[in-house]
């Protein structure tokens, strides 16, 4: 039960925020089939009533994360918030609706240009994922995903720069999106709204660095914080040296959440019911 005492000290003033891909769901060749680990969702249903807030912060569209996570129904998650597209979109279980600004014209233009671009780079089978307010080029399905990613990085960055967009690299993926909002901003918005005493964040990829930075700043302000890193076997990540807790991938994340749920239940804290 690594460092779970940080949450047990004041559960009703604790925010738990989690990344989706690689944290709640495994990294799979087809991101549209990246379903959340059922044990993690079962644990969150037990955890959420005890805490000030449980939030999912993801680069995916909020509605897609809700669907893949099975988050729209079931007891325990009535107060869940899903912050999609790095926090630009917000889905609240209380309303079942996504609030989001319009898709930028630049994203529409880049989405149209990408098929010819990846073909010209020699990787016509790279998968282009339409994420609404973002578009991603995946190499997971290719024979040499790392080599293909290297080949595509220059052209993708060039077309993004041409349209004043940013590129967010990840595990065998390059995501193009508008600037101005990242997972750190999502963390700060939760803190501004909820003023938690304790903030726990779990994330595994480069897009989570901004969230780690925001949580580190909270620690400097005197708040209690906890960073959880679900590391895949053999993975070398800059997040590892910054994490307070390292677990073994999504299975380890599910086990850690289950242990937290057990500890909260055993502590007998008052669960939120409204």
Half-sphere exposure of 87 (CA within 13 A, CB side): 20
Helices (H), the chain: 5-8, 38-47, 62-69, 105-120, 145-162, 183-194, 209-220, 249-267
Give the per-residue pLDDT at 3.
72
Give the per-residue pLDDT at 274.
47
Report the sign of the C-alpha dihedral through residues 31, 56, 90, 87, in that order: negative
Other CB atoms within 10 Å distance of the CB of residue 5: 12
Report the sign of the C-alpha dihedral through residues 55, 60, 61, 64, in that order: negative
Kindly state the tokens that stand for 139. Answer: 């190499």
Task: Quote the CA–CA distance of 132 and 226 in Å, as a whole number.
Answer: 31
Residue bearing tokens 């803190």: 191
Q: Among 261, 229, 266, 230, which residue's Cα sits nearest to residue 77?
A: 261
Indicate the CATH number of 5-100+181-267 among 2.60.40.10, 3.10.129.10, 3.40.50.1000, 3.40.47.10.
Answer: 3.40.50.1000
Half-sphere exposure of 27 (CA within 13 A, CB side): 19
Give the per-residue pLDDT at 131.
84
Query: What tens digit of pLDDT does each residue of 15-39 get?
Result: 999 999 999 999 888 888 899 999 9
Task: Quote the CA–CA distance of 274 and 144 in Å, as a whole number.
Answer: 50
Write down the pTM of the prediction: 0.80
Give the per-residue pLDDT at 215.
97
Query: What tens digit of pLDDT does each residue of 97-134 get?
Result: 999 888 889 999 999 999 999 999 999 999 999 888 88
Task: Quote the CA–CA distance of 124 and 40 in Å, as a whole number.
Answer: 36
Kindly state the tokens that stand for 152. Answer: 């595509």
Half-sphere exposure of 200 (CA within 13 A, CB side): 29
Which regions of the chain are under pLDDT 70?
A: 1-2, 74, 269-274
The domain ranges of the chain are: 5-100+181-267, 105-177
Give the per-residue pLDDT at 1.
47
Task: Quote the CA–CA distance of 188 and 236 in Å, as a whole number.
Answer: 27
Are the C-beta atoms of residues 123 and 148 closer than 8 Å to each other?
yes
Other CB atoms within 10 Å distance of the CB of residue 79: 17
């Amino acid at each position: 039960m690594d460092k779970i005492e940080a949450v047990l000290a004041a559960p009703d003033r604790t925010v738990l925020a989690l990344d989706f891909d690689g944290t709640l769901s495994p990294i799979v060749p087809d991101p549209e089939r990246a379903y959340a680990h059922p044990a993690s969702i079962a644990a969150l249903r037990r955890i959420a009533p005890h805490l000030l807030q449980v939030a999912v912060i993801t680069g995916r569209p909020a509605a897609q994360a809700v669907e893949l996570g099975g988050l729209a129904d079931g007891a325990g998650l009535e107060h869940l918030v899903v912050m999609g597209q790095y926090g630009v979109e917000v889905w609240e279980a209380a309303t079942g609706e996504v609030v989001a600004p319009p898709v930028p014209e630049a994203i529409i233009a880049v989405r149209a240009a990408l098929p010819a671009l990846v073909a010209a780079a020699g990787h016509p089978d790279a998968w282009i994922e339409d994420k609404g307010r973002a578009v991603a080029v995946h190499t997971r399905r290719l024979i040499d995903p790392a080599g293909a990613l290297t080949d595509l990085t220059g052209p993708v960055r060039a077309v993004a720069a041409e349209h004043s967009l940013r590129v967010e690299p990840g595990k065998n993926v390059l995501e193009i999106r508008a600037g101005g909002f990242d997972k750190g901003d999502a963390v700060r918005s939760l803190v501004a709204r909820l003023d938690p005493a304790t903030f726990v964040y779990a994330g595994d990829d480069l897009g989570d660095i901004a969230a780690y930075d925001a949580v580190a700043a909270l620690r400097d302000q005197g708040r209690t914080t906890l960073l959880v890193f679900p590391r895949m076997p053999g993975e070398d990540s800059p997040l590892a040296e910054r994490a307070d807790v390292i677990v073994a991938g999504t299975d380890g994340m599910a086990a850690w959440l289950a242990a937290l749920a057990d500890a909260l239940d055993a502590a007998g804290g008052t669960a939120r019911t409204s």
